[in-house]
């Protein structure tokens, strides 16, 4: 019996940097956080406004500008100790007139298909681009075909997301190089354009955009790149088997402009014991332009705002300064995250913990931590506090894109990990809209984040 | 160190009734099950047909009859050892012409509101029922008002589902007596009708039906009962504060007919070692009539069918006889579950394990087990096999309505426990339709069920 007790103690260790053990007071406070989130939450209404009154928030757009103003106003209404805008120059890319594409199996025999320009792509030549198509299963495949078979053609990257990968982000990670680097690699073989299968498990008609880059490809050699819907990709692939010499036509009118001024939106509650030590929570305020970015990442923004609102609402006075940061330009530049980190370094601000929510507003299932093993043992001892809220998983892993640049030795990063099975149904597509977010699921995420921030604030001792 | 090793062993015990420890072969087989489910699944297409080609399947309806035929055909195509229909007499209740209701604040001043008859209710008198309304917060509240204030009125049960209950089924359980027993209790105080707030967390315009019963209330004293949408309930409640003497009108044309013949649909793979010991997996084939019952419980049916298909597909030859049972009439009578159990008893069939899926086709998060503590320790030792598939929770609890009547000493019941946050958005309402089910989430549930059935088959030794 005693041996078992000893082992139970090992499950709740106290290690350097954490001042004491979690206790029943913590259960009570976490219950208060969840009750307030679910009975008197603000995040869903904020998201409604961001999504339905503002809409898509691509960096440099009017939507992004309005979102900065709106969230600054809302943070001001929370009675935080300080709310401000942190200037950051961001890229500006515009989609322009809607894209148009068709598959031509014979002169006069064509089928319209749904495509969208990839973010950062150049436009097609005036009047559009028509060429034969070569289907490949990924960048690695280009060498198999060689310049001879690729030159003058449109490369069609058709490696699908692997449905049998349970962790959907792994399936995404295994395909996304086609989108990111497909154009710059294909151009080396003389391709004239790139069509990339949308990164979604669903078979539907929605093209999914996302960033791409040309690397050091000279400006005059850059070729246009678009995404095709999964149904369109299947259709094109099937037609190619019958008719390998078919033509693909697409016309897109996107353009990159000069960088413009934008902002990270920041609010904070001053720490009562360690005002110069910072805990931050955030998401990214920019989104792609096709939908209204409700899951990616409106959800993360309103959940992060909700963290500070809930802490105030339950009258918790944090020991450390707690900041919400709504980062600008995660999608196509990460300028906001980099700017926040460089300013923090310049001002010598001591950030001890950063939490990001950027995986959709779905039922939260856990957190991932970028953390050393020893501290992780302590953090894992908090997990039982979350079990009544159906959070079962604390894993080691990344925190989030925007908080990544902040990372320094001893600092802990974390990411909210919601259920991800439906995430890529909406990701970067026209259906990433408010109706795809469930109020309870969103609120449970905000409550889980608040609880974790509370625990880090309470138990992190000065370093 | 040794002590820790001893404790690790305790985590993987072998207890009576289970023949050996799980091992890496099990991981390999479970991976094969998941791969097949996600890359080559049949459940989604079956559900498409059940939902979009057949639709609602209320007991005694044409839809239910067609669903029996369709699933029997599909099971026959799987090449099982035996497929048959088990006759069962079921109640037949029909909604009739669409319900109509309004709130009348003054003569000629009325607002239409959305209601639906509760399953099993009597119709309103010819021409409808109009009366004053008394709002109560539950059955317990009737005594507070007494006959004096209730007589001649429509009782409006408005206790909402508690949003701060994380387990949504608990929130449902805390309200559903209003629907089940609201009419038979209100009639004791002289009420003339009953309006029940829909059991949903969402505020929307959809009324949610569900069963109610009159107990021993004499037929001539039975009063009509309907559900009102949550938005309608809030509106009515607010109006009552301003105008307590307003009238509520509703007209419903439902009717109970004589019982009719229907069937449980059953298929089996004969056990290679214990052909006379049975493991069953099932869901209920009937549904309510407003939507097409995709989540409740089309999902559970196609997942259960998928269990047998997957076992055959991976060439697993079960030791015990594995049956899929699609139960008829869970929603308003449980006749199928009772009939199956009574036939099993009559034939002295030894059922060792039964698994039900009847909580929606959402991401599976675990299983609940009706099991003794000792055996549960063994079953819990299997949990690590499920973790790669994001199944983290084996809890003690109920199995399911349909398999409940089978329970006898030593037998184990289990229920699939999917994420439940959105379940009551759809439950018994017109939006419980195919588009609300995600293919991956459905398939992950079927794979989890197959894996559990495989483990029970492999490790249950003869008793």
Beta-bridge mates of residue B351 = B278
Measured between beta carbons, which residues in chain A are less than 8 angstroms from residue B438? Answer: 421-422, 425
pLDDT in tens, A384-425: 999 999 999 999 999 999 999 999 988 999 999 999 999 999
For residue A297, cis peptide bond before it (omega within 30 degrees of 0) = yes
CA-wise closest residue to B118 among B233, B258, B228, B248: B228
Chain A positions in Cβ-Cβ contact with residue B27 (cut-off 8 Å):
none
Q: Could you read off the pLDDT of A222-275 as tens digits, one per residue?
A: 999 999 999 999 999 999 999 999 999 999 999 999 999 999 999 999 999 999
pTM of the complete model: 0.95
SS (H, E, C) chain A: CHHHHHHHHHCCCCCCCECCCCCHHHHHHHHHHHHHHHHCCCHHHHHHHHHHHHCCCCCCCHHHHHHHHHHHHHHHHCCCCEEEEEEEEEEEEECCCCCEEEEEEECCEEEECCEEECECCCCCCCCCEEEEEEEECCHHHHHHHHHHHHCCCEEEECCCCCCCCCCHHHHHHCCHHHHHHHHHHHHHHCCCEEEEECCCCCCCCCCCCCECCCCCCCHHHCCCEEEECHHHHHHHHHHHHHCCCCEEEEECCCEEEEEEEEEEEEEEECCCCEEEEEEEEEEECCCCCCCCCHHHHHHHHHHHHHHHHHHHHCCCCCCEEEEEEEECCCCCCCHHHHHHHHHHHHCCCEEEEEEECCCCCCCEEEEEEECCHHHHHHHHCCHHHHHHHCCCEEEECCCCCCCHHHCCCCCEEEEEEECCCCHHHHCCCCCCCHHHCCHHHHHHHHHHHHHHHHHHHHHECCC
Q: Does A388 touch chain B (CB under 8 A)?
A: yes
Other CB atoms within 10 Å distance of the CB of residue A448: 29
Candidate from B38, B164, B363 with C-beta closest to A38: B164
Bridge partner list, A117: A226
CA–CA distance, B414 with B397 (Å, rounded to integer): 8
Residue among A3, A34, A164 minimizing CB distance to B39: A164
Could you tell me which CATH class the domain A14-92+258-459 is placed in? alpha beta
B254-267 per-position pLDDT tens digit: 999 999 999 999 99
Read off the tokens for A264. Answer: 């990270």
Q: Say which residue the tokens 């028509």 belong to.
A: A130
The span from the CA of B38 to the CA of B46, in Å, is 15
B115 closest CA partner among B252, B234, B292: B252
Q: How much is the pLDDT for A23?
A: 87
Residues of A catalogued as catalytic: 330
Closest residue in A to B35 (Cα) is: A164
**B-chain residues near A202 (CB < 8 A):** 439
Which residues in chain A have their CB less than 8 angstroms from residue B421's CB?
363, 438, 440-441, 444
pLDDT (0 to 100) of residue A463: 52
For residue range B324-351, list pLDDT tens digits in order: 999 999 999 999 999 999 999 999 999 9
B157 to chain A, closest Cα gap in Å = 20
Return the percentage of chain A with pLDDT > 90, whole number. 94
- Of the pLDDT bands very low, low, confident and very high (cuts 50, 70, 90), residue B23 is confident
Chain A contact probe: residue of B440, B442, B446 with most A CBs at under 10 A: B440
| Domain-wise residue ranges, chain A | 14-92+258-459, 96-253
Q: How confident is the model at residue B12 (pLDDT cuts 50, 70, 90)?
A: very low
User: How many CB contacts within 8 angstroms connect chain A with chain B?
Assistant: 73
One-letter-per-residue 3-state SS of chain B: CHHHHHHHHHHCCCCCCECCCCCHHHHHHHHHHHHHHHHCCCHHHHHHHHHHHHCCCCCCCHHHHHHHHHHHHHHHHCCCCEEEEEEEEEEEEECCCCCEEEEEEECCEEEECCEEECECCCCCCCCCEEEEEEEECCHHHHHHHHHHHHCCCEEEECCCCCCCCCCHHHHHHCCCHHHHHHHHHHHHHCCCEEEEECCCCCCCCCCCCCECCCCCCCHHHCCCEEEECHHHHHHHHHHHHHCCCCEEEEECCCEEEEEEEEEEEEEEECCCCEEEEEEEEEEECCCCCCCCCHHHHHHHHHHHHHHHHHHHHCCCCCCEEEEEEEECCCCCCCHHHHHHHHHHHHCCCEEEEEEECCCCCCCEEEEEEECCHHHHHHHHCCHHHHHHHCCCEEEECCCCCCCHHHCCCCCEEEEEEECCCCHHHHCCCCCCCHHHCCHHHHHHHHHHHHHHHHHHHHHECCC
A161, closest residue in chain B (CA to CA): B39
B51 with B434: CB under 8 angstroms? yes
Measured between alpha carbons, how far is B156 from B233 in angstroms, rounded to an integer?
Answer: 9
pLDDT cut 70: percent of chain B above it: 95
Q: Is the pLDDT of residue A1 over 50?
A: no
Mutate to test the interface with B, among A390, A397, A434 (most CBs of B within 10 A): A390
The answer to whether the Cβ–Cβ distance between A34 and B7 falls below 8 Å is no
Distance CA B101, CA B250 (A): 4
User: Count of residues for chain A?
Assistant: 463
pLDDT of res. A5 = 36
- Which of B164, B392, B444 is nearest residue A34 as measured by Cβ atoms? B164
Burial of A346 from C-beta contacts in 10 A (0-12 / 13-18 / 19+):
exposed
> How high is the pLDDT of residue B4?
38
Residue A357, pLDDT > 60, answer yes
Catalytic residue among B72, B268, B330, B443: B330
Residue of B nearest to A436 (CA): B436
Comparing CB atoms, the residue among B7, B164, B422 nearest residue A7 is: B7
Query: Which chain B residues touch A425 with a CB distance below 8 Å?
Result: 438
A363 touches chain B (CB under 8 A): yes
Sheet of A274-284: strands edge to edge?
A82-94, A255-269, A320-327, A274-284, A350-356, A412-418, A364-370, A393-396
Whether pLDDT at B15 is above 60? no
Query: pLDDT grade, residue B9 (50/70/90)?
Result: very low
A389 to chain B, any CB pair closer than 8 A? The answer is yes
The pLDDT, as a whole number, for residue A6 is: 36
Domain over A96-253 is classified CATH 3.50.30.30:
yes
Residue pLDDT, tens place only, B173-205: 999 999 999 999 999 999 999 999 999 999 999
Tell me which residue in B39, B392, B421 faces A438 most closely, judged by beta carbons: B421
Partnered with residue A195 across adjacent β-strands are: A156, A226
- The 10s digit of each residue's pLDDT in A170-220 is 999 999 999 999 999 999 999 999 999 999 999 999 999 999 999 999 999
Q: For residue B440, which residues of chain A lie inside 8 Å, CB to CB? A: 163, 201, 421-422
Q: Do A444 and B422 touch (CB under 8 A)?
A: no
What are the residues whose beta carbons fall under 8 Å from the beta carbon of B390, sequence distance 6 or more? A166, A167, A365, A393, B363, B365, B444
Query: Structure tokens of A208?
Result: 């999914």
Report, as an integer, the average pLDDT of B407-418: 96
B104 carries an active-site annotation: no
Instruction: Collect all residues of chain A within an 8 Å Cβ-Cβ radius of residue B394.
Output: none
Chain A contact present for B312, CB below 8 A: no
B130 phi, psi to nearest 5 deg? -125, 130
- In degrees and rounded to multiples of 5, residue A236 shows phi and psi of -60, -45
Q: Is B384 on the interface with A (CB under 8 A)?
A: no
Please report, for residues A457, B355, B364, B365, B399, the alpha-carbon distance to residue B368 in angstroms, rounded to integers and kept in the order given. Answer: 35, 10, 11, 10, 6
Q: What is the mean pLDDT of chain A?
A: 95
Answer whether B319 touches A (CB < 8 Å). no
Q: What is the pLDDT of residues B220-229, one digit of tens each?
A: 999 999 999 9
């Amino acid at each position: 019996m005693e041996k078992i007790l000893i082992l139970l103690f090992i499950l709740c260790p106290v290690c350097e940097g954490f001042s004491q053990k979690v206790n029943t007071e913590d259960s009570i406070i976490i219950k208060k956080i969840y009750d307030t989130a679910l009975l008197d939450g603000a995040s869903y209404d904020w998201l409604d406004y961001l999504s339905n009154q503002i809409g898509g928030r691509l960096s440099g757009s009017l939507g992004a500008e309005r979102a900065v103003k709106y969230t600054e106003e809302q943070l001001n209404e929370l009675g935080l100790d300080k709310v401000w805008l942190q200037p950051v120059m961001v890229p500006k890319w515009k989609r322009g007139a809607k894209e148009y594409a068709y598959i031509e199996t014979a002169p006069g025999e064509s089928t319209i298909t749904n495509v969208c320009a990839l973010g950062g792509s150049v436009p097609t030549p005036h009047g559009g681009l028509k060429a034969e198509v070569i289907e490949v299963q990924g960048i690695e495949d280009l060498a198999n075909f060689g310049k001879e078979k690729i030159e003058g053609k449109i490369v069609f990257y058709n490696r699908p997301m692997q449905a049998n990968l349970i962790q959907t982000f792994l399936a995404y990670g295994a395909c996304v190089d086609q989108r990111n680097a497909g154009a710059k690699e294909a151009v080396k073989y003389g391709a004239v354009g790139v069509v990339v299968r949308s990164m979604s498990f669903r078979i539907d008609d929605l093209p999914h955009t996302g960033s791409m880059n040309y690397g050091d490809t000279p400006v005059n050699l850059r070729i246009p790149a678009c995404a095709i819907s999964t149904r369109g990709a299947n259709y094109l692939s099937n037609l190619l088997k019958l008719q390998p010499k078919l033509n693909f036509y697409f016309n897109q009118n996107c353009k990159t402009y000069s960088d413009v001024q934008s902002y990270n939106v920041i609010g904070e509650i001053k720490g009562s014991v360690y005002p110069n030590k910072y805990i931050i929570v955030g998401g990214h305020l920019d989104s792609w332009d096709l939908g209204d970015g409700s899951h990616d990442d409106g959800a993360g923004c309103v959940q992060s705002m909700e963290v500070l609102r809930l802490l105030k609402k339950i009258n918790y006075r944090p020991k450390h300064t707690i900041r919400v940061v709504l980062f600008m330009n995660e999608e196509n530049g990460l300028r906001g995250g980099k700017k926040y980190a460089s300013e923090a370094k310049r001002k010598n601000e001591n950030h001890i913990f950063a939490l990001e929510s950027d995986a959709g507003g779905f039922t939260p299932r856990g957190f991932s931590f970028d953390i050393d093993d020893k501290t992780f043992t302590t953090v894992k001892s908090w997990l039982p506090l979350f079990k009544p809220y159906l959070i079962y998983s604390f894993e080691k892993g990344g925190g989030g894109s925007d908080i990544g640049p902040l990372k320094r030795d001893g600092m802990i990063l974390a990411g909210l990990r919601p259920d991800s099975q439906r995430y890529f149904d909406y990701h970067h597509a026209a259906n990433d809209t408010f109706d795809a977010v469930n109020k309870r699921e969103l609120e449970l995420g905000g409550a889980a984040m608040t609880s974790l921030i509370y625990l880090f604030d309470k138990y992190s001792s000065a370093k």
